[in-house]
Structure formats: C-alpha cells, structure tokens
Amino acid sequence: MYKKTNLIYGLSLFCITATVSAQQTDPIVDAIVKEATTNSHLPKYAFELTDVIGPRLVGSPQMQQAHDWVVSQYTALGIPSKNEAYGVWKSWQRGTTQIEMTSPRIKSIEGMQLAWSPATKSKGVEAEVITLPQHIQDSLSFAKWLPQVKGKIVLVSMPQPTGRPDHQWKEFATSESFDKMKNDRDLQTKQWNQNIKKTGYNNNTLAVALEKAGAQGIVMSQWAGAMGANRIFGAKTTKIPTVDISLEDYGTFYRLAENGLKPKMKITANSKDLGQSKTYNTVSEIKGSTLPNEYIILSAHLDSWDGGTGATDNATGIITMMEAARILKKVLPNNKRTIIIGNWGSEEQGLNGSRAFVADHPEIIKNTVAVFNQDSGTGRTVSLNGQGFLHSYKFLGSWLDAVPADIRNEIKTTYPGAPSSGGSDHASFVAAGAPAFMLGAQNWGYGPYTWHTQRDTYDKIVFDEVQKNAILIAILAYKASEDPNQISKERIDLGKDNKGNDILWPEVKEPNRSGKY
C-alpha cells in the first residue's frame, strides 16, 4: 500500500510538472526568439538608415528619403505603410564645411556648421577671431562694445578648462586636484552665465545681435563631456555662418585671441536653403483580425539631429520596431488587435510628429490599449514605468511574464509610477490618456558621448542589446494584442504639491505645424 501510494503520488507529480511546463511553453514566443536570433535584419536596417541615408534633420531631403525608405521596407514585408503629412518645416541640406586657422599658423580645424546655418560665398569668409568681453557691466556697456564685432568672427562659448572627461580625473587625479578642478569649473561656468545675462541677450538671441552688428561668423563649441564629442544643434543666424568646432581647437583660438595674437579663421560652408517642405509621420499597420478597432502602437522617432547619423538617437528605436514588426508579421499571422508602427517626425523639435498623430487620430487614441516607445540609445531595456496608470502592474506584469527570463529579469518595474510630461514621444500619448510606456535602457555613455553629437554613428550600435529589445517589443506587442481582458486606463490620483495645490495630469499639447523654430 505504501509503495502504491508513492507510485501514484509520483505519477501525479510528473503529470502536474508536465502540465505546468506545457503551459509555460508558448510557441509564438519561441518562434519570436528563434526568428530574432537566427535571422536578424537589424544590421541591414541600421546600415541603410544611418550609412546610406544618413542624418535625418526634419525638413531635409534626407528626412524625406528616410520616410520613403521606411514605407518601402514595410511594404516589402506585406505591411501597409504611408506617409501622413501634418505640417511644414524649413528645408535645408547640409554640404561640406571647411574651417581653417590662417594666422598665426596654418591648421585644419575640426568642426562643422550647425543645422540651418547659412552658406558662405564660394570663396568662404576669412576674418580675425575675437572673444566676448570678460567683464560686462550691463546691457548698455555691451551695446557700446557691440560695434567692435563688425568684420570679425566671434567666439560665443565658454572655453572649457579641461578636455578630459570627469571619469579620468576621478581615476587618476588626487581627490584634492579633482575637487579643485570641479570647483574652478563651476565658478567659471557661473561667471560666464552671469556675463552672458548682463549682455541683455540669451544663448538664442546673442548670435542674432552679433549678426546684426556686422559679425562675419559665429563660432561655438558645445562640448558634451566625452573626448571628441560635441553637440550639434541649430543655428539662429540667417545671413552669416554658425559653426561648432572641437574643444581643443576652440581653446586654441580663445587663448590666442585673449593674448592679443589676433588669430584668423576661414570658413567655407556649402549648405543649401531649400525653402519649406512638408513634414510627415510614417505610419504602418498590421490589421487586427477580431478586434481591428483596438490598437497596440510601436513608437519611435525617425528624425535626428545631423551632426552624426542619428544612430542611437533614434535609428536604434526605428530598427527595433521594424524588426519586431517583421517578426510578428511572420510568426503571428492573425493578431487580434491592430498593431500600428509609428515612425514619428520632428521629435527633436518638440515631439511634433507624435503630438500631431494624437491630435489627428482621436478615434485611435481613444481605443489604444498600449504604446511601447523606444528612444534610449543602444542599450538593452532595464526599466519600465507604469506612467501613473493604476492597474499597469496587472497588464504589464502579465505580458512581461511571457518574456524570457534573461531579458525580463534585468527590467526594473515601477508601478504605478508617474506620468511623463515630456522627454520622448510616449508623453504625447500619456497626456491624452493612452497607456504609453518608455522602455528605459542601459546607458552605454549615451548622454556624454552620442546624444545629439557628431559621434552618433553606426559603430556605436550594440546589436546584441538591440536584438534583446526587438524580442521584448515583439513579445509585449503579441501579448497585448491577444490579451482577452479589458485593459484599464484608470489613472492614479497625483496628490498635491508642497503648496497644497492639486497636481494635474500632463496636458495635451499642440504640435508645431508651421516650421517656426
């Protein structure tokens, strides 16, 4: 009897274990992982988007090329795709930039014109380089000084006291030396900002004032904090070139000018002002079979700044969503809910593409079950915030349970979290009440090294990491599409601020459709 009971218990335990094991095996998940790891299209997509098309500044011909390329890729996958116009923007095409020191010695300078910078004449412009006055009393004294810029090229950035990143100082310097450097730099930065404020202008209006006073060019150096990395944004001038040069070259010019050597620079910039062009979102759709009017949105922005080729901001997001959609189209032939892939335009100028989509498609936003947004560089996903949706732990948690442990276990979840008011395109949807989630990633030096810098190029992509994100997105989209439950959009009460006022949910904001920047 004892042996028979043990035998029955053993058989029962075996059956239960086998049943649980069978329940934990999802053939669709297995197919997603297999396709992602054995037939990855990520390197090919990244090459075509970053090396072939290149940077994707809103309004530029390359941005239009990127929109059309995305349409062609999804169409080839059997996924309907279209460009939806939502406004206009200044159209500008980057050309070559040649910057030289011509006195007191000859040297090629590392640098480039800023986006939307005016071109020079074919022979370029050559002039003495000067600095801003170090001790400005007030706006009146600056106005008296201003005529001195006529015919000159003006340095408008603070010269950095060191070109070494902080991590090197921390590793090699004494603690006293490191602290002294940081304190000196902080003081210098404070004094510089106060000096600029006393001019009566800010960083956006100062260049315009210098241009009106007759300057021949504006030179800045927006060091990002990593060796060789500068942030390349947009010019405010309309007639004279604005260029950014390396920290090292900028410091050389600054010291020469301050010591009375009257250095000279020659700038030759060959950009083209093309007037205005339409701005678009590229929207692709895998139609749902049984719940076609409920939506899962895969979200990433297609545009970039154009100092580099926009590899980690945000080609990685675009190719992640493209790879996830490719896989789902192959392994999930009859998804219940409609899966939309939004390739947004003009995120860098204020989330304009996603805001326009929210404004133009209220019927979709009303019935959106979940939005998954990727805009965090090249790292694998390590954080997920519930964005203030009260029951996010329930539905996100259940979808995450299907994700392989080696990916899922690295993700720190925060439920219910708090709503984002900006930062990336998920915020446009959160403001409208749609559950939208940002997939936070491992840093990989994103902030100081590739974010909006000229170093944001193909070689900075870590494809093993991006592949994990594609698997994660594909599984989340699959589980969200098939979930039989009604997904709650109930929001948390955000409470009160320290003055006793109610903290309000982020407001829906209108996109910039006019191209005024």
Question: Tokens 């599409």 — which residue?
Answer: 481
pLDDT tier for residue 25 given thresholds of 50, 70 and 90:
confident
The answer on pLDDT for 45 being more than 50 is yes
497 close to 72: Cβ distance less than 8 angstroms: no
491-498's contacts with Cβ under 8 Å and 24+ in sequence apart are 491/388, 491/389, 491/390, 491/419, 491/433, 492/388, 492/389, 492/390, 492/416, 492/418, 494/388, 494/418, 494/419
- 219 has which bridge partners? 155, 243
Tokens representing residue 482 in the block? 């098939």
Token pair of 44 as six digits = 């090919």
Judge whether 340 and 297 are in contact, CB under 8 Å.
yes
For residue 5, pLDDT over 70 is answered with no
Q: In the predicted model, is pLDDT for residue 14 greater than 90?
A: no
3 pLDDT exceeds 90?
no
> Phi and psi of 381, rounded to 5°?
-70, 130
Give pLDDT, residue 9: 40
- Helix (H) and strand (E) counts for the chain? 16, 16
Q: Kindly write down the DSSP assignment for every residue of 147-166, as one continuous string.
A: GGGTT-EEE-SPPPS--S-H
pLDDT digits (tens, 9 = 90+) for 396-424: 999 999 999 999 999 999 999 999 999 99
Instruction: Encode burial over 58-76: b for 16+ CB neighbours within 10 A, e otherwise.
Output: bbbbbbbebbebbbebbee
In this predicted structure, which of 4-13, 18-27, 205-214, 387-396 has the lowest mean pLDDT? 4-13
Q: In angstroms, rounded to a whole number, what is the distance separating the alpha carbons of residues 101 and 129?
A: 10
Residue with tokens 């050309």: 95
| Res 24: pLDDT | 63
Question: Would the pLDDT of 22 be above 80?
Answer: no
Q: Give CA–CA dist 102/85, Å, rounded.
A: 46
How does the average pLDDT of the chain come out, rounded?
95
Token pair 């602290």 is found at 179
- Report the pLDDT value the prediction gives residue 393, as an integer from 0 to 100: 96
227 — alpha (psi -120 to 50), left (phi > 0) or beta? beta
* pLDDT score at 91: 96
pLDDT tens digits, one per residue of 319-362? 999 999 999 999 998 999 999 999 999 999 999 999 999 999 99
Give dist(CA 508, CA 494) in Å, integer.
17
d(CA 236, CA 242): 8
Report, as an integer, the average pLDDT of 174-197. 98
In this structure, the strands spanning 264-269 and 125-131 are antiparallel
- Average pLDDT on 104-131 reads 98
Question: Cα(43)–Cα(331) distance, rounded to whole angstroms?
Answer: 21
pLDDT (0 to 100) of residue 2: 39
φ, ψ (nearest 5 deg) of residue 427: -65, -30
* pLDDT on residue 75: 98
The yes-or-no verdict on residue 294 having pLDDT over 60 is yes
Please name each of the domains of the chain with its CATH number.
Answer: 26-92+276-482 (3.40.630.10), 97-270 (3.50.30.30)
**pLDDT score, position 517:** 58
pLDDT in the model for residue 23: 45
Query: For residue range 467-483, what is the model confidence (pLDDT) as tens digits?
Result: 999 999 999 999 999 99
Scanning 302-448, the segments in alpha helix (DSSP H) are 316-331, 352-360, 362-366, 392-400, 405-408, 426-431
| DSSP summary character for residue 492 | P
User: Would you tell me how many other CB atoms lie within 10 Å of the CB of residue 335?
Assistant: 22
Over the stretch 207-260, which tens digit does the pLDDT of each residue have? 999 999 999 999 999 999 999 999 999 999 999 999 999 999 999 999 999 999
User: Which pLDDT does position 54 carry in this prediction?
Assistant: 98
pLDDT at 150 over 70: yes
Q: Each residue of 64-116: pLDDT tens digit?
A: 999 999 999 999 999 999 999 999 999 999 999 999 999 999 999 999 999 99
* pLDDT tens digits, one per residue of 353-397: 999 999 999 999 999 999 999 999 999 999 999 999 999 999 999
Rounded to 5°, the CA angle 211-216-96 comes to: 110
Which pLDDT score is estimated for 515?
A: 83
